Amino acid sequence: MTLLVIALVSLRRHRPALTSGQVLTWSLLAIFLPVIGPAAWLLAGRPVRSAAAVE
């Protein structure tokens, strides 16, 4: 359950960098695949921040 909450919060924070279709897809994966969905988002789905965005 904690992994799901962390993934959904992370997804919400990265929402501006994603299309609405991507947000919907990742949200549904996280909800309906309780371990695999959140883990997949946290490991592979999050957009990579560029060096300019970090500075």
Tens digit of each residue's pLDDT (9 = 90 or more) over 1-54 = 788 888 888 888 888 888 899 889 888 888 888 778 888 877 877 766 654 554
Supply the pLDDT for residue 44: 76
In-domain check, residue 8: yes
Q: Would you say residue 53 lies in a domain?
A: no
- How confident is the model at residue 4, as a pLDDT? 83
What are the phi and psi torsion angles at 43 (to 5°)? -90, -35
Any domain includes 41: yes
Q: How many domains does the chain have?
A: 1
For residue 46, the SS3 value is coil
Determine, yes or no, domain membership for 55.
no
For tokens 């949200």, name the residue.
27
Supply the range of the domain harboring residue 24: 2-12+19-46
Provide the pLDDT for residue 48. 67
Q: Whole-model pTM above 0.95?
A: no
42, part of any domain: yes
Q: For residue 37, tell me if it sits in a domain.
A: yes
State the pLDDT at residue 45: 74
